[in-house]
Amino acid sequence: MKINIYYGGRGLLGDPTLYVINRMQMVLEELHVTVERFNLYELRNTITTLPQTIKSADGIILASTVEWFGIGGYMYQFLDACWLYGDKEKIAATYMCPIVMSTTYGEREGKLALTGAWEILGGLPCSGICGYIADASIFEDNEEYIKIIEKKAENMYRTINQKMVCLPASNQAVKQKIAITKNTDLTPQESEQLSQYASDDSYVKRQKEDIQELTSLFRNLMGEAEQEEREDDLIREFREHFVPQAGFRAVYRIMVDGKKKPFIIEVDGPGHNYYYGNADDPDVEIQMSREAMDDILFARMTFQRAFMSGAMKMKGDFRVLRTLDQIFDFQKKER
């Protein structure tokens, strides 16, 4: 039989939890049980790998000290790792004995928290120990306290050895209905690597920067796609509202704010062509905002009026500009 002890305290001299687990370990070893201890404060950078060590154990002891509020961050990190990376099938067959000593207040709540967490994980709880011990020297002067600790160790041994059945708990029912998570099948090497990455601040920062860069890239690509779609709409609008003028020829170069390339209109009698690019020696060059272009397309303004009001700038033959309002009639189609 093998039992693992996971100690979530800070390892301080005089920690009563250390006395309890040392005494329990001594009793278990007298019963020929292999005991392995994991001090979480020493293994804080590799806590995510520790759920893999449960696979070789028949039972575990979760021990922590309440110094001011709750069972401490290291133990919570270990339980989080069990939830995310632990083998749920193995946990379901593993007994857990909670040990919580308090130097202030909250030992019962801490013991209940460990038991509840293990039941939600699907594991089997054993009867644990909790108590308020202001000074660990109290144990040395009280034989009855020592007998209680030794008795708990013996009971844990019997529970695991006889594979005693536990009644179903509502925590497990909650897990089955709404708290289902996917098992992460990681090798110890992969888990070790994951732990190194998770504890490497520079790696995490670099990953965040890469995510932001990718997000910006996709946003730009989506923006370009939307812009191309709007550019296609612009070509369609001009093509649908073209009114040919016999014998009229002209090339217009329109630069709309926000677009990378100018919009080119080539008119030759009944022929008309539209594209984005450059044109040599256009008859009229126009610069305008997207809002002004929308006003023209929706017949709220003409090219000539936009020029007169200052919403549009132009260079070239003004008579050719005025012809734009004749060859493109945006009022002919009801909107």
Question: What amino acid occupies position 277?
Answer: G
HSE-CB at 328 with a 13 A cutoff on CA atoms is 28
pTM above 0.75, yes or no: no
Parallel, antiparallel, or unpaired: how do β-strands 129-132 and 95-102 relate? Answer: parallel
Closest CA to 165 of 126, 111, 117: 126
Closest CA to 97 of 170, 169, 6: 6
Parallel, antiparallel, or unpaired: how do β-strands 2-7 and 34-39 relate? Answer: parallel
Q: Residue 265 is inside which H or E element, if any?
A: strand 263-268
Give me 228's structure tokens: 């191309």
Q: What is the pLDDT of residue 335?
A: 42
Buried b (16+ CB within 10 A) or exposed e, 286-306: bebeeebbebbbeeebbbbeb
HSE-CB at 253 with a 13 A cutoff on CA atoms is 15
Instruction: Calculate ∠ Cα 126-127-128, nearest 5°.
Output: 105
Alpha helices (runs of H) in the chain, residue ranges in sequence order: 16-30, 73-85, 88-91, 107-121, 137-140, 143-162, 170-178, 188-199, 201-240, 290-297, 303-309, 318-327
Closest CA to 121 of 156, 161, 160, 81: 81
Q: What is the DSSP string of 123-160?
A: -EE---EEEE-S-THHHHT-HHHHHHHHHHHHHHHHHH
DSSP code at position 78:
H
Domains, the chain, with CATH or none: 2-199 (3.40.50.360), 231-327 (3.30.1050.10)
Contact yes or no for 62/118 (Cβ under 8 A)? yes
Contact yes or no for 88/123 (Cβ under 8 A)? no
Q: What is the pLDDT of residue 112?
A: 94
Mean pLDDT by 10 residues, the chain (335 residues): 95 91 95 95 92 94 92 93 91 95 92 93 92 86 91 94 83 58 56 58 72 72 54 80 89 87 91 88 91 89 89 89 88 56
